[in-house]
Amino acid sequence: MSSGHRRGRRILLATLVLAALVPLGPSPAAAVSTECDDLADTEIPADARIGDFGPGRFLADVDGDQHRDVVTGYVIGGPPPAYGNQDAYLHVELASGWGTVIQLDQFTTFPISQPVRVADLGGRRLIVIAFGVGANLAEFAFLEFSNCSLAPVELVTGGLPRIIAGGSLLYSSWFACSSNDVVMLKLERGFDEDGNVVEEIMTGGDATVYRLEPGGFRRTGRLDLNLPRLHDDLRREFPDCSRFGGTFVDDDGSVFQGAIEWLALEGLTKGCNPPAGDRYCPERGVTRSEMAALVVRALGLTEDGGGDLFTDDDGSVFEGAIDRLGAAGLTRGCNPPANDRFCPERGVTRGEMAAFLVRALGLTDDGGGDLFTDDDGSVFQGAIDRLGAAGITAGCNPPVNDRFCPDEHVTRGQMAAFLIRAFGGKSA
């Protein structure tokens, strides 16, 4: 990797994480050599904005060498909603460290960049890019990494396939992928006898098929959907292939997927099923020992205070992390006043999570206190208020969000969200 590329990457990561984060590469796998390394390298500019409209970055094998590469969408220019003053780009950094970039708004009316997944079509890996604003409208394009560069996959007749997705009260649209085809579904809901929209039943619409050929996509016709049909039945027959697909196989569609991918990208998690490491288990509860490991990695803590600070973690794979967490003063144990035990296998409550993060970040501003209605009398109330004032939590009962649910246990997905807000920037 060139020295300029290394500098560019350090600057970019500095905008996403605190200076205390351990500098880590894009993949746990060893870097590999590639023929592209001898070509001109590209780097992500220091003023790039990542994640304005979605996760912005994920890991995937783009070039087929069995190593994870970093896929990043970013914009340069005025912040939203100043769309006319922005330029959108897609950057791919191979596991070897070499990178290439393409400007996206040269072939779309939306100067927005949101890479959403790498799809396998016709034996080719295509990067799916979303353009658009919000959930009600998004256009999608497919780009391919070939000959050490990125290029959009066009129609054989010219231009890009009209792939859209979104929804409203009257309409639902998405696209599905098969081995060689992309099917664009645009469906309409019907009305009952009182004139009310029936959301469960699709009464009209069509499904357009785009087949991937060597020269690009060819529109081959439309499918007979035998409408009217239940919306859920159509979703099962034509599963959405536009969803973000990155490091783990079990978080597609999760509201925490962007945060989970950030954890993987920064090397803070290796999954929940070693040695494969292809699952994250987002709905599973977080144990205190797992929390210790994540926070210690995020802060780059190395001092263990001499080790063996607690009596109940001997033999735990997390003992080193637990000792470093204790030495840093971020935990006092689980059995006051003795506090000689850590309870490594016990679940973490939202109140405990607040205390851990407030200590780690040194937060002092409580925003005036009493930010939530359900933590009065909790030993964690002060920490919860400081966490809320810092914008790291918005509550547990959207959209009202006047409750924190301090005694509920934190899932691994929620943990990812807490950590990215705390250490990675709220828009990362």
User: How does DSSP assign 158-213, residue by residue?
Assistant: SS---EEEEE-SSEEEEEEE-SSEEEEEEEEEEE-TTS-EEEEEEEEEEEEEEEEE
Domain assignment present for residue 261? The answer is no
Domain assignment present for residue 308? The answer is yes
pLDDT of residue 262: 84
Q: Into how many domains does the chain fold? A: 2
Q: What is the CA radius of gyration of the chain?
A: 24
Q: At 329, which amino acid appears? A: G
- In sequence order, the β-bridge partners of residue 216 are 213
pLDDT of residue 326: 93
408 and 331 share a domain? yes
82 and 160 share a domain? yes
Q: Is the peptide bond before 228 cis (omega within 30 degrees of 0)?
A: yes
Final residue in a domain of this structure, among 237, 255, 281: 237
pLDDT of residue 293: 92
64 and 181 share a domain? yes
pTM of this structure: 0.63
pLDDT of residue 167: 74
pLDDT of residue 53: 63
Region for residue 122 given its phi and psi (left: phi exceeds 0; alpha: psi -120 to 50; beta: otherwise): left
211 and 288 share a domain? no
Domain assignment present for residue 132? The answer is yes
Domain assignment present for residue 252? The answer is no
Region for residue 79 given its phi and psi (left: phi exceeds 0; alpha: psi -120 to 50; beta: otherwise): beta
307 and 350 share a domain? yes
Distance CA 161, CA 237 (A): 22
Give DSSP secondary structure letters for 314-357: TT-TTHHHHHHHHHTTS---SSTTT-----TTSBPBHHHHHHHH
Which residues of the chain have a pLDDT value below 50? 1-33, 135, 425-428
pLDDT of residue 267: 84
Domain assignment present for residue 249? The answer is no
pLDDT of residue 367: 93
Domain assignment present for residue 266? The answer is no
Domain assignment present for residue 257? The answer is no
Separation in Å, CA 272 to CA 256, 279, 412:
16, 6, 10
* Domain region containing 294: 272-423
Terminal-to-terminal C-alpha distance of the chain: 24
Distance CA 252, CA 416 (A): 15
310 and 394 share a domain? yes
228 and 299 share a domain? no
65 and 147 share a domain? yes
Q: Which residue is associated with the tokens 């697909």? A: 245
For residue 397, what are the contacts with CB-CB under 8 A and spacing of at least 6? 403, 405
221 and 334 share a domain? no
pLDDT of residue 67: 79
Final residue in a domain of this structure, among 221, 237, 253: 237
Helices (H), 339-411: 350-361, 381-389
163 and 224 share a domain? yes
Final residue in a domain of this structure, among 216, 237, 258: 237
19 and 143 share a domain? yes
14 and 112 share a domain? yes
Phi, psi torsion values for 210, nearest 5 degrees? -115, 120
